[in-house]
Structure 1
Amino acid sequence: MPSLSNLTAGARQSGRGSKRIRNDASINFAQALKEANKTVEEHSKTKATIQKYDCYYKQAVKFVREFANDEASKEAARKEHQAKLGQPDDDIDDSRYQEDPLTCMPPDFDTAFDGPPKPFTPLAIAMFLSEKCVKQNCKVGVAYAIYSSMLNHYENLDGIGNDKYRGDWVCDEKTGTCGGNPAKSGQVQRMLHSIKKKDAEVVGERKHARAMSYEDMGKMHAHAEATCPSAEACERFKHCGNGYYEPLFPELLSKRAEHLYYSAYSTLSFAIWTRCHETCQLQKKHFDFNMPPKCCSNGEVHERFSVNLRHRKNWQNKMESGELGVEGHYYNIYSRPDEPAVDAYHHVHEWVRFYSDVILRRPLKDSDYIFPTINFSKLTANPEKPSDSVAMQKIITRVADASGLSNSEACKYTTHCFRRGGAQYRFMFAPLGKRWTLARIRWWAGWAEGEHGDTLIRYLLDELSNYEEDHRDALCPVDEAANKSHLGEDRALRPFTAEDGKQFFKHCDRLLETQFQNLTNRLIEAVESQNSKSASACQPLVQAAHAHPNHTTHAAGPIRTLQQHPDSAPYPAPAPWAIPVQRSLLHVQPSPNASTPYYYVSLPSQRHPHHCEAANLAAVTPSAPLPTIHWQPPAVCPQISEPLLPPQERHTLPRISKKDPHLQWKTVVNDWECPQPERCPIPLRSWDPDWYKETKQAMMYHVRKTIAEEYIIRYNRDDARFLEDYPEHTRGITPLFSAIQANHIKLGLARPRAKRNGARK
């Protein structure tokens, strides 16, 4: 029986590892080292970081070479000028005025960044830092980016097999031998410190992203709900024939589209604490709207959907640490009708429905972005291109200003406000019993186990410290100090004392007194406005008072006598002119028992008896000014028999990639005559004119039609002749269309475009 070691050895020989070893055995040492160095170079940093470092390094090389060339030109000009003076060599003894070697440019200074570091390489780095951050006035972030670029360049200069340039900088002045990283030299470090101090001295008004609080979300939601049209009011269309549908109320529909778009974006970002690019990168495939409801242990059932967030910042680092699996980071979003301002479940569902049924008029594909680039006025969207931070910032600013929130430049709402606000709300400002621990907050925000402490401090602890250690209200009669417990929770948990009861009743008395004073002022204003009107307007009311002296009218019923309550205070009876009558309380109706109709007033049945007595109403004389009675019929909304939503899909022109401009004309021709199920199911040549008129794309359609017909009809699909006559095709379809139009005008096939006054160009 073979031993375990033999079995293990056999398994190793027949496994995948042995196959890799046999394949790698044919590679020599130089090739293996080259592959290893290439792997480190490509994957030690992200692609964007490598590109940024390479850009700064090339700028430094260019700066040093240009500076050296300028200095050489100046030195040559100085020597030429001195030679023209013709002075004898022994005229002036200038031995005492020899130039300091430290102020002279080293020879071969233009090669400071070529190959291994040289004794003057740290000087070149420091001078480049000064050029960028002092002369060009760049911020300290640029200085640290340049420093990191140089540090990375020299650490990987000789590949993984040599650590000569990874330590501290050492230079032997006698022999000129250098070692270590020049970016770690004293010259570079002093320059970085000086630039940092320079920026710290020029401190203007602090500008930082303001956190979107739960109360601010409520204000913006209330404003949106008050101004946003309902679906029944605006999601109606009329059929114009040939499958073309036109909205009955386009302005209302555009307003509703922007409201739903913003509400879905803001509530989702507030719920899962995403940055702008993370939210905009979400596609239909990242959502699971068919999740079964959650059955809780107490028997409650809650609706939900799931979001798979795969585009978190520092995603690569979390994959390396093994904190996240390859499947992503899942968040379950539950329905919260008790919190409508932050109910992401409801708002995302509403936006997806509107996006699919009204804008695209087709089911969403897995590759469609949930928050695409969109034109609200035309109600057109490009589901293949996500929105960006610039567009989102405009919407946030517009909604914040319209909601009446302070949004100054020094402290404004940015696209990052929902992430900060959501994190602070769950940690500090949520109701008692609903606040989260730091462990849950770290997981929910996507922060790693070893996340820098300043990140948590910036998001949470700074705000908490400001809240608990803020003593600006120390002189307040009521002690509101929050430094005795976490967020001052002891104030909400302490027992109700006699002093609290006394303060509570005082507060109630002040509120009642204020409300009564406001009511009195309103009554006085009403009386003064009634006295300024004509006396002739009160004749119908006087007739009603004398005809029914013992009754008060309802909308259509008998009049009853108003008696003073026996327990009420003996207020003096108001004068006849002191009866306030609001316009909204007047009801004009003809009498059912008289041939000549008369009119009477309907008083509210809940008015206090001693404030208005029947005797006072009967005593009203024709000279008492009362309001003129007007009757307005109720507005009748016409019934619209059109369908709520058009049954057909909205047709939009397929997007043309800008990656290869010289091939765009071929894409246009292919879209014109070939059906493509995923891109263009119906060829453009078979489109009904109403389709591109509906989406306001008539001009774009005309451009593609002109190019396709020029190639197919006039050039009979001759690629060589077409490309020779129109070299503008290499720049894209817009220059190509302009060239075709100019050629048609030259040949008399088209006329120049008329000016606004009707004259030809």
Structure 2
Amino acid sequence: MAWGITKKITSAVKKSAKGKATTASASALMAQREEARRTLLKAKGTWSQYDGHLVRGRQFLADVVEQKKTAHTDGTHTQADGELVDIDAYSHAFDDTPNRYSASVLELFLVQKGLMENSQGETYRGPYHFNSATAVVTGNPAQSAAVQDMMEVLKNNEGAEGGSRNHASAMTIEDMRKVMAWSYKQCPDELISLIYSRVQSESALDMDNVILAQKHLVIRAFATTGFTIWTRNFELTKIRRKDIVWNCQGCPPYDIPYDLLQDHEYEIYPQQQTPEICMFTHLRAWVNFLEEVLLRRPLEPDEFIFARVGANSVVYASDQLSYDGVMKMLAWMCKEVGLTARYTTHCFRRGGARYRFMFTPLGQRWSLATIRWWGAWAEGESKNHRDALCPIPREGDKSFNGDHILTAPITAAETQELKMSFDHELNCLSGKVEEVLDKLTLAPASSTYSSPLPAPSQPPILVSSPQSLQPTLCHQATISPFLESASTPSMIPSPVPVDSTSSPSPPAFPTTRALPSSSRQHGTTAKKAAPIPGVGIPDLPRGPEAWRTAVKQWEDPAASIGGKALKDWPEEWYTGPMRTITGVKRNIRKVIAMEFYRLQRDEAIFVEAYPEATCGVKPLFDAVQRQREGRSEITRRATYITLSRPAVAGTTFPGPTRALAQLYLFIRRHSVLVH
């Protein structure tokens, strides 16, 4: 109604340019004025309350006038202060036009409503008391001792161990890792790259993929930004493009680049040790996606970084993400990740502050002064801590450019952390090597299945090492340049310091004879070709349903990226440069699908023959390969490296697998240096 009246007035004003309108009557104008006043000045509910007060006031006045008329038939009444009152004029005190009695009548009305009527409830206000002699209760029963004791019991029960907590929790670094692991599993970098490649080639985009990428990129940026700069969620949505300065140059001599958030002058540096909370990485990724994919233009200075995104990824950059939108996003994230904590407005602010003050590694925890400045809890603080995230803190009051930090002796805690980090990386590398070696097979003598390795172009060679007395038979494939140069057996040298300005050379593995130089030309390095746009294989889920997904990807075009089922892929999609990208993944799906076909596509028989199917894809794939070896469909894998031995004969493998195996051997031989 209000909008309709405003529209009428606006349109009436604009009509004056086209021609003079007929002047309305005074009564019509006054009626229009009253309608506009009642619809535009106050809300409808407010006017209803006003009308109710007026009705009750007039009813009160009518009762008072009736009492006066009954007591004084002459039409006049003398008040307590001696003033002679005209009862007829007194009865019009609450008319639309006030008179001289309106103020005094209103005062009496307030006394009636505020003192007389409320006094009836005074009996049940205040401390509770029951008079057993008269059976009269006074005071509020809720204030009784029994009720108060029960309230205390309920409060203690809520706070006891195992009781429910209603206040918001602080986001922990462990939960941030879970969120990022889930997000990258649901929306891997390959999917983002696929979207960018389609944008650059001006190809049609899959809307489901765009929506999925948008949801994950925005939640990564939102979570890491809130965790880093300690903002409340409703404050974080107010950040505009003009508030951020990208690619600022760090102070010499290190010149570490950073992004500047101008609100509190936060210097945002890359957090390479903790990528799950790296605002530098994730905020850039979101803004890039927002500008290049969703908007196809740069953001304007006053447009929001966390803008409102409608259906089908329609972006309203001038509108900030609503609080309800933030809470819906957090609820969806917690449900999908399986987080049971209750995260609301302050979760990232409290979590980031607690992490920097208590839970960062030893030697990296912030001082209380830095915490107070970073959280904007130290107004008027003279010392600036804007570079607290810098990987090399300057601390100019102690040394020039923070040199004292780089030249300080290594501590026992740092040594222990280095060892733990190295052990972790070594275990990961061992797992990757074992996984790759499990997939390596030699060319079969006769089989209906094709081997993933090419047939040997040269006879086997003997490779020896100082740790093995017996020569090892290995299959020769592509040879690395540093193996070609090793013409005579030699001991592997111990690691020596390497100049930081030059690239370290890999160690040469000893061989019994020179390898032919025709396998690869010296001085040339093959450039890695770019992957084919729009071609990929989604990762398999974990759990007992993974093998069904593998079979579906093998035969269903919609289950893979590229529009074709894996069994119908052209050879160039999984060979050559694509072999390391899609070749291995396709081979796993093929082996599982072929075995499923061999068992007449009966799921019950398949699961009974391979109980490993309920454990995941890798145990199932290994079990199928063992069965194939038993049926002589593939050659027994007798040339694998024994990972448990500290030193193994130098062995060559095809392409990247060979390099990975050699790197693994080198690390195993020199791992004693970190113990």
Query: When the two structures are superposed, what TM-score results if normalisation uses the length of structure 2?
Result: 0.38
* TM-score of the aligned structures, taking structure 1 as reference length: 0.34
